[in-house]
Chain A
């Protein structure tokens, strides 16, 4: 825990530390299962009660509707689900995700099971923010495929997890606040093509 001592009088989230190595060490020590060395987090405020947002999220089969890069999610049992995710170049990657910690209405943490194509872990927290609604924070730790080059390629194809996480949260916010995911499609056919 010496890392915390290295950041005296700094209340900033550990995921925003400039020393990412330290951030990963602290995060995996405190809150997240160790599944990689790329850490990303983002937060959004949603004007809905935490309980409602949590309940929607906890039904993992819902998530494919807001996660553009997720092809499908199969719920296996109450803690285990199978994820099929689009990767750069038309490929897909798959893994089983296991819920490692949960607190009704407050947080869900997960980690990929052994044999994952892309090892990953993380947590989503739902914090009551009074009149502002709920602050939803997603923290994701992952092992970028094929190292640094894989990350660059993924970014080119806009499938980089940090970008995806931010967009996914934006779509989650849209759906929860407005009842729909915003689209500029002029026709239903166009919308389907955009989703492809």
Chain B
């Protein structure tokens, strides 16, 4: 089959590789009909993420048709499914608490050591995202082997177009969980840093959860325009002092809850830090957690800080004093995708959440390398690229 494979910094290719097979009883094989390039794929593209190997198949946002099932899979051939980017077993302590991204069993035992050294615990497995998170082949391919297929994938009703539901795989539940972690109460003013896909879904989610006002912060005019379409007020931090603006816009109180969905810059920390950790030295640049630092300073006393943005390592000058003195609550984490799927599918079907607005480009799988280049170089115009294998 054809698959988008990683070979090094800014080197992704379409390769012919072996078709995946059923390996374990709970597996299913999915014929991919739509898959997206995620902002976090760019960090692989930029060579920031350690434990990548040449030939790794990328892609963690994908959906498709079930073409083969293992003896313990509950899926049926011909079903259309969206697959969560987090691989969860459904049976361990964390899955029992619906904390699926804490799943203890999806990550092969040999891949658990690095994260244990870095974080104290192994991470759950993800599709197409380095060997530290499992080394599973991703979905930017014609076919994917999906482990624990009875727990992860959600079956999509007949006749629903792919583009409407594709983002259930990652960014929609991630934006939703970001808003949930902000513990929004009716009447709240919520500030969102970063108007990428996650931030834009967080804006929509915050309103659905009862926020009275949402203030969205970015520097790409097109992304601010999209945030405004969903009813957010906007701040362009390149031309405005964000803290001063937030204080005036909230009458000096500050936002009740803040959401940091920037993350992209923060990803750079990951490598520096992983390497530093391996070298047993721990220091990092101090300028890359700008968004979360600013959010903590701006949020009101007793406010909530939600951090869907990905961080990998240690930080300097983290305003811990502000967290304590202002009595803040900080919630974060990789998304428990499986937990949110049924509710969010309903929300899409009922028209409460708009998903397709995000898609700026559609390409056949063969043009995926070009897609990576575009996404990397033109973040204002390119909001989301959907790849369609077999077209």
Residues of A within 8 A of B (CB): 45, 47, 68, 132-133, 158, 163, 166-168, 170-171, 173-174, 177-188, 190-191
Contact = CB atoms under 8 A, between A and B. Distances in A.
B91 interface: yes
B152 interface: no
B110 interface: yes
A22 B147 CA distance: 45
B324 to A, nearest CB: 29
Contact of B20 (A173, A174, A187): A187
Interface residues of B, number: 36
A135 to B, nearest CB: 11
Nearest to A171: B109
A47 B96 contact: yes
Given A187-B20, A188-B23, A191-B23, A182 B105 contact: yes
Contact of B111 (A47, A181, A184, A187): A184
Q: Please provide the 10 A-B residue pairs with the shortest distance between their CB atoms, ordered closest to farther.
A: A170-B109, A167-B109, A180-B24, A184-B135, A177-B91, A186-B20, A178-B89, A174-B105, A184-B136, A187-B21
Given A170-B112, A182-B24, 8 more contacts: A163-B113, A174-B89, A178-B89, A178-B105, A179-B25, A179-B72, A184-B136, A184-B137
Interface string B85-108: 000011111001000000011111
Interface of B: 17-21, 23-26, 72, 89-93, 96, 104-113, 122, 125, 131, 134-137, 145, 147-148
A170 B135 CA distance: 17
Nearest to B111: A184
Q: Which among B19, B90, B92, B147 has the greatest number of chain A C-beta atoms within 10 A? A: B92
A133 B21 contact: no
Contacts of A187: 18-21, 23
Contacts of A170: 104, 109, 112, 122
Contacts of B125: 182, 184
Contacts of B89: 174, 177-178, 182
The secondary structure that dominates the B interface is loop
B103 to A, nearest CB: 10
Nearest to A170: B109
Contact of A182 (B19, B72, B108): B108
Q: Which among A132, A173, A178 has the greatest number of chain B C-beta atoms within 10 A? A: A178
B110 A167 contact: yes
B108 A184 contact: yes
B109 A174 contact: yes
A106 to B, nearest CB: 21
Contacts of A178: 26, 89-92, 105, 148
Contacts of A173: 92, 104-105
B109 A186 contact: no
Contact of A47 (B17, B91, B148): B91
A180 B93 contact: no
Nearest to A172: B109
Contacts of A168: 109
B106 A182 contact: yes
Contacts of A171: 109
A166 B107 CA distance: 14
Contacts of B122: 170
A190 B21 CA distance: 10
Given A177-B89, A178-B148, A185 B23 contact: yes
Nearest to B24: A180
Contacts of A177: 89, 91-92, 105
Given A167-B110, A180-B25, A186 B105 contact: no
Nearest to A186: B20
Q: Which among B19, B110, B112, B135 has the greatest number of chain A C-beta atoms within 10 A? A: B110
A171 B107 CA distance: 10
Contacts of A182: 24, 89, 105-109, 125, 134, 147
Contacts of B92: 47, 173, 177-178
Contacts of B135: 184
Contacts of A158: 110
Contacts of A133: 93
B89 to A, nearest CB: 5
B108 A47 contact: no
A152 B106 CA distance: 29
Contacts of A166: 109, 112
8 contacts: A163-B113, A166-B109, A170-B109, A178-B92, A182-B109, A184-B137, A187-B20, A187-B21
Contacts of A163: 113
A186 B145 contact: yes
Nearest to B112: A170
B134 A184 contact: yes
Contact of A45 (B19, B20, B93, B111): B93
Nearest to B96: A47
Q: Which among A180, A181, A186 has the greatest number of chain B C-beta atoms within 10 A? A: A186
A178 B73 CA distance: 12
A45 B96 CA distance: 13
B320 to A, nearest CB: 28
Nearest to B104: A173
A47 B97 CA distance: 12
Contacts of B109: 68, 166-168, 170-171, 174, 181-182
Given A171-B109, A178-B148, A186 B91 contact: no
